[in-house]
Amino acid sequence: MELKNAACLVTGSTRGIGRALVEMLARAGARVLVNGRKEAEVRDAVAALRALGAEAVGVAGDVGRDADAQRIAEEAFRAFGELDVLVNNAAILTPRARVVDKPPETWSEVLRVNVIGTANLIRHALPRMERRGRGVIVNLSSGWGRSAEGWVAPYCASKFAVEALTQSVADESRAGVIVFALNPGVIRTEMLGTAFDEDVSGYPAPQDLDGRWTELFARIAPDWHGMSRDLFSS
């Protein structure tokens, strides 16, 4: 896939994996929309991308709120006239605890952002991609979306749901739109560090994925439609 001038929207892209991805896209010549919850962080990320010479815009908003998700998608179409790539990256991971110790509010928030937020952006972006007959939707998943562990049940449940959502959307979407879930592996992010007590310094940093992201977009083809992929697989 040619990334130069491609119009890309990456949710949760003011930090972590999302931030590294928009920086890679910017260096490749893509047009990028940055999203995060905090206005100041969105402005800082957009300024950094523009310093790289990229055409970048930003929208602060919570993807788990439908009105915000609609505003984010509409700004991408307004700014770029089209949308080639949507990466649903925004997610939250709460501190480790047993299921019986996780309050209802934690479950509601994790599922609202990780699952409903992904569905919201798809709902507002997919129809226009289908009318154009072209587009790529990447839903960030996890190894915990395929094999669960204790102490992180809300996150595991949310990523299992993302995998199922991806397969459903892929089955429904029209020719020309590629939809897949992607597992980037365990990455050393601020979110991971706040959720775990142990040292996470041995895991790769988000920037270490740059080469893999470039390879991924170069290899995207219709036979990936609806598939789950591991970014570190051969």
Contact criterion met (CB below 8 Å) for 57 and 79: yes
Query: Looking at 26, 31, 36, 155, which residue is catalytic?
Result: 155
155 is catalytic: yes
From CA 203, how far away is CA 187, in angstroms rounded? 6
User: Residue 56 carries which side chain, given as an amino acid letter?
Assistant: A
| Catalytically active residues, by annotation | 155
